[in-house]
Structure formats: C-alpha cells, structure tokens
Amino acid sequence: MSRVFSGIQPSGELHIGNYLGAVKNWVTLQSEFECIFCIVDLHAITQPYEPAELEARTLEMATSLLAAGIDPERSTLFVQSHVPEHAELAWVFNIVAPLGELERMTQFKEKAARQESVPAGLLNYPVLQAADILLYRAERVPVGEDQLQHLELAREIARRWNARFGRDFFPEPQAMLSPATRIMGLDGAAKMSKSLGNTIGVLESPEAIWEKLRPAMTDPARKTRRDPGNPDICNIYRLHQFFSAPAEVTMVAEQCRSAGWGCLDCKRVLADNMIAALAPVRERAAALAARPAYVREVLAAGAARARRIAGAVMGEVRQRMGFLPAGV
C-alpha cells in the first residue's frame, strides 16, 4: 500500500475551504492508502504569529480534523514539532536545495512582499515541506494547486540528495490534486482564508452559517431581485455544487437565470444543505469536546508512530552521509 503524506497549518478551526479543498479528500484516501497527516506548526511560525495562541490553535485543528473524519485507527495524525527529525532532515536538505529555485517560489515572493524584514525561514519553508514528505518516504501528496510548485521542488531535492548520497533512497513524491481547488471566500474576491476573514468554519452553528451566507457576494451584475442572474460567475452557485444534490443544482441555475428566485432564496437552500452536510462534523466535535484528554492522546500516539518511521529513515540518512555514529 503506498504511503500518503499531507500537512495543514494550525490555523485553529477548519473552514469550508480547507475542508472541501483538502480534508474531505484526506478522509476518502484513508480507505485506500496508508495515510500520515501532520499539523505543521514549524511551518506556521515562519509568518508573524501569536505564541500565546499557537497551542490552542494546534489543538483546535486536531479536534476539527478528527471531527471531519480523520480516523486515528487507520491514519497517523500528529504535530510536526513533536517529531524533531523534521527539522533535522530539513537542515540536511538545505545543503542540496538550490537557492535560486527557493527565491523563485511564488508563495515565498508573495509572503516576502508582505513583510518588512524577511526571515530565512520563509525562504526555507519549502525545504521543510520536502523534509516532511520524504522523512516518511511518502509517494503521494494530496495538495491544492497552490502547492504544486513546492512539490516539484521536493522532487528536485529528492533527486539531488539521491544523486549525491544514495541512489533511489527517496522516492519522488507525486501530487494528488484535490477535486475541489481554490474555494473562494464569501467576498467572492479572494481564496477563502482565515487571515482574510471571509470564511465559514465547519463547526459553526446553523445560525452563524446563515448570518455569514446572507450578506455573501453573488453575481455582482444582478442589481435587483427582478434582474436575471448568471450562476456561472456566482460564488454561491459554486458552493451549491459542493453542498447540494445535482438536481437541486440544476434547479438553482434555472431559478437564477429566470429570476424566479432572488439571491436570498438561493442562499437559504444552500444554508440548509450546508448545515445538513456539516451536522455530522459538528456532532463529532461536540463528542470530542466532552473528552479533552482524548485529542492529546491521539496526537501522542500519532507522534510515537511517526517517530518510529522518521527515526529509522533519519538513521539511514546519517549513515549514508557519513556522520560519526553517536556512542561507542
């Protein structure tokens, strides 16, 4: 069974963009692959963050992932900083990672442009990501389109390390593109993202979901209730495609084009379907909230399992690179 690895930042609660774009797919992959899922706190600290919030955000992300259907009986779920080998392998990879390519990474350039003083950690972010994947010699990596460049670099790093230190030791990991990429935020203007405040959390109450959907952006050209709308450019219609049954999606498009429904009518149907689809996630989260120690236990067991693999791979890496073994 080939091994899958993926990571998610500890941003706190999962939103429907993360859920549709990544985690829902992870849940499905569990029945076909050996899956390792990692909450990447060492990546999160490369951008300005609040130390007092990191712990809670990490736990909240773990809780959301379990609520969304990550099954610790079948998959390994752990926190990156609990397995020190990630940082160790990233350091080793820094000596084969091409500086020019790191500087050309789109995400690096975008993030660097937003910061006054650019930390080297931001430049080396994709090196750590390569280490995450290769530490488990994972062959497949479910990611969104925005991570394809990082994955290409991980393959390059694997090739270069292999060429220098050990033929075919690291497999070249392949991306598995998630079926739903780039879920737009409620503003309809940018990708859904916690930092932009345009999200709906998977654990939000039915009332909160409605309060957020009600003012959400639709077809900007539809000025009044009587104007026909164009579903193809409406973000609410796009969300219908993920949450509503096919027959309903067809009806929504017809009602929009004929101005049979107003945008609020359309949003009400979406809200109902979204609330129903997320209900099991909310229920599991409530059950988890009643057992606060359980999430930490899952993460501890996950880290122990991850460390067993990581330790063995790192041992081989040290040997192939010629380090003096510790001890006598």
The string of DSSP letters for 221-279 reads: T--STTS---GGG-HHHHHHHHHS-HHHHHHHHHHHHTTSS-HHHHHHHHHHHHHHHHH
- Taking CB under 6 A as the rule, does residue 85 contact ligand TRP? no
Q: Give the nearer residue to ligand TRP in terms of CB position, either 140 or 240.
A: 140
**Residue 91: CB minimum distance to ligand TRP, A:** 16
| Chain-centroid distance, C-alpha 217 | 24
Q: Give the nearer residue to ligand TRP in terms of CB position, either 133 or 285.
A: 133
Footprint of ligand TRP on residues 45-84 (CB under 6 A)? none
- Type of residue at 13: E
User: What gap in Å lies between CA 279 and CA 257, rounded to an integer?
Assistant: 30
| DSSP state for residue 82 in the 8-state scheme | G
Q: Which of 36, 77, 79, 141 binds ligand TRP (CB under 6 A)?
A: 141
**Residue 62: CB minimum distance to ligand TRP, A:** 15
Produce one character per residue of 195-234: b if its CB has 16 or more CB atoms within 10 Å, e if not.
eeebbbbbbbeeeebbebbeebbbbeebeeeeeebbbeeb
- Taking CB under 6 A as the rule, does residue 21 contact ligand TRP? no
Q: Which of 24, 109, 191, 223 is catalytic?
A: 191
CB atoms within 10 A of CB 62: 24
- Taking CB under 6 A as the rule, does residue 40 contact ligand TRP? yes
**Contact region with ligand TRP (CB under 6 A), list: 140-148, 161-169, 197-205, 237-245:** 140-148
- Taking CB under 6 A as the rule, does residue 124 contact ligand TRP? no
User: What gap in Å lies between CA 166 and CA 92, rounded to an integer?
Assistant: 14
With CB under 6 A, what is the number of residues at the site for ligand TRP?
12
Q: Give the nearer residue to ligand TRP in terms of CB position, either 40 or 275.
A: 40
Q: How large is the angle between the packed helices 120-134 and 106-113, nearest 10 degrees? A: 150
| Chain-centroid distance, C-alpha 35 | 14
Q: Give the nearer residue to ligand TRP in terms of CB position, either 59 or 133.
A: 133
Ramachandran assignment for 129, one of left (phi > 0), alpha (psi -120 to 50 degrees), beta (any other): alpha
- Taking CB under 6 A as the rule, does residue 147 contact ligand TRP? yes
Residue ranges of the alpha helices (H) in 166-233? 206-213
Residue with tokens 């689809």: 277
**Residue 79: CB minimum distance to ligand TRP, A:** 12
- CA 246 vs CA 212, 253, 262: distances in Å: 24, 11, 20
**Contact region with ligand TRP (CB under 6 A), list: 141-149, 203-211, 236-244, 269-277:** 141-149
Q: Give the nearer residue to ligand TRP in terms of CB position, either 128 or 281.
A: 128
- Taking CB under 6 A as the rule, does residue 143 contact ligand TRP? yes
Residue 37 DSSP SS3? strand
**Contact region with ligand TRP (CB under 6 A), list: 69-77, 129-137, 163-171, 219-227:** 129-137
Q: Which of 3, 4, 5, 222 binds ligand TRP (CB under 6 A)?
A: 5
Active site residue 111: yes
Q: Which of 43, 82, 155, 222 binds ligand TRP (CB under 6 A)?
A: 43
Active site residue 267: no
**Contact region with ligand TRP (CB under 6 A), list: 112-120, 139-147, 265-273, 314-322:** 139-147
Query: Quick one: 163 exposed, middle or buried, by C-beta within 10 A (0-12, 13-18, 19+)?
Result: exposed
The residues that touch ligand TRP, with contacts defined as CB under 6 A, are 5-7, 9, 40, 43, 129, 132-133, 141, 143, 147
The set of catalytic residues is 111, 191, 194
